[in-house]
Amino acid sequence: MVAAWRLGAGTVLAGVMVVAIASAAVPPRSPGRVVRGLLPLLVGNPGDVQRATRPALVLAGGGPDVDAAMVFFGTAAGAGDLVVLRATGGGGYNQYLLNLTGADSVETLIVASRQRAEDPYVLSRVGQAEGVFVAGGDQANYVNFWGGTSLARAIDEVARRGAPLGGTSAGLAVLGEWAFAALEGTVTSGQALANPYGGRITLVRNMLCLPRLAGVITDSHFVARDRMGRLVTFLARIASDWGVEEVRGIGIDEATALTVDENGAAMVVGQGAVYFLRTPGPPERCLPGQPLTYRHIAVQRATAGQVFHLSTWYGGGLVSYTVSADDGVLTSTQVGGSIY
């Protein structure tokens, strides 16, 4: 039984029944072999290869995948063995990534329980992979099934050893220092702005610990689902509940991705835009049952081909403006008042 991750100064996964798994020899890669109830979905060479990799991130906003971002991911992985992680679905990424990147192999692991997140087969595959990508789905599954497990630590280790990581939609949501966990379902901008402590706003911290995304919360499907207001609310909650002076948010449109190289230079690829938010300090009013007031959040908007530097939180030539929430109503300093 898994209790929800709760807000607090530190992230704690309480009330978890951890199932011990007896150690066993890790079976060889095989596209058709069922391993202790987990079906590895694999295309390409079932043997393990070792290739030189580069530290990189691919942050995708959901919807159609951006080929250029996936090529960047495969190149950073040295065309080695790629692993796709998810909690539902199947191996839809396998042949696509194999054909697009020329990878040695692509394997999808469907990790749909905390027991699977401790399985030696899963941990071995992630440990051997030259690149790991977290697919879309429901981030509540990732938080409940993977949070605080050996799998989460293995994903962190991928970044530490200088291999690329990526995620789209729900997979993007869990990559930042903070994440909207969606434990009670999704939340709209209107709902969030009207009550920043509504029951649907469940946030967690440090499910993953990726240095490039320290101090950051991400959101996807950004303009298509009108998520500026809820991202501003998430920033307000983090600033209020954790006492963080400066919180940063990244909102990414559908069919759009951000490719981050080893120097922290993040380039936008795809059809839409990426929005980089930064808070000016604590919110003026962020209280249960009362509409949010939080003024002068800085926004920088980047589109295809433009580069933003995560280390300095600045991109030259980008559209810059501020957004403010006053009594739950979001406004902008842009000409015409568009919040996007």
Same domain? 159 vs 60: yes
Same domain? 215 vs 330: yes
Total count of domains within the chain: 2
Q: Which residue type is seen at 160?
A: R
pLDDT at 38: 59
Same domain? 220 vs 338: yes
Same domain? 159 vs 180: no
pLDDT at 32: 46
pLDDT band (50, 70, 90) for residue 12: very low
Of the given ranges (16-30, 121-135, 162-176, 260-274), which has the lowest mean pLDDT?
16-30
Same domain? 161 vs 193: no
Residue 110 lies in a domain: yes
Residue 333 lies in a domain: yes
Residue 8 lies in a domain: no
Distances (CA, A) of 305 to 89, 262, 269, 318: 32, 18, 6, 11
> Domain boundary residue among 149, 168, 187?
168
Same domain? 110 vs 226: no
- CA distance linking residue 170 with residue 145, whole number of Å: 14
Same domain? 41 vs 154: yes
Which of 175, 174, 176 lies closest to 142, judged by CA? 174
pLDDT at 253 over 80: yes
Residue 252 lies in a domain: yes
Task: Give pLDDT tens digits for 105-157.
Answer: 999 999 999 999 999 999 999 999 999 999 999 999 999 999 999 999 999 99
Same domain? 222 vs 331: yes
Q: Looking at residue 158, which CATH number applies to its domain?
A: 3.40.50.880
Residue 128 lies in a domain: yes
Which of 135, 122, 120, 126 lies closest to 90, judged by CA? 135
> Domain boundary residue among 147, 168, 189?
168
Same domain? 83 vs 108: yes
Sheet containing 248-252: order of strands: 203-205, 178-180, 216-219, 248-252, 273-278, 294-303, 319-326, 329-332
pLDDT at 165 over 50: yes
Residue 328 lies in a domain: yes
Of the given ranges (23-27, 41-45, 173-177, 279-283), which has the lowest mean pLDDT?
23-27
pLDDT at 15: 30
Domain range holding 101? 31-168
pLDDT at 224 over 70: yes
Same domain? 121 vs 216: no
Residue 20 lies in a domain: no
pLDDT at 18: 28
pLDDT band (50, 70, 90) for residue 37: low
Distances (CA, A) of 174 to 134, 152, 265: 9, 10, 21
Residue 107 lies in a domain: yes
Task: Give pLDDT tens digits for 300-330.
Answer: 999 999 999 999 999 999 999 999 999 999 9
Same domain? 338 vs 295: yes
Q: Name the percent of the chain lying above pLDDT 70.
A: 88
> Domain boundary residue among 139, 168, 197?
168
- CA distance linking residue 216 with residue 21, whole number of Å: 34
Same domain? 55 vs 108: yes
Q: Mean pLDDT over all residues of the chain?
A: 91
Torsion of CA 286, 288, 292, 294, to 10 degrees: 10
The predicted model scores a pTM of 0.90
First to last CA, the chain: 41
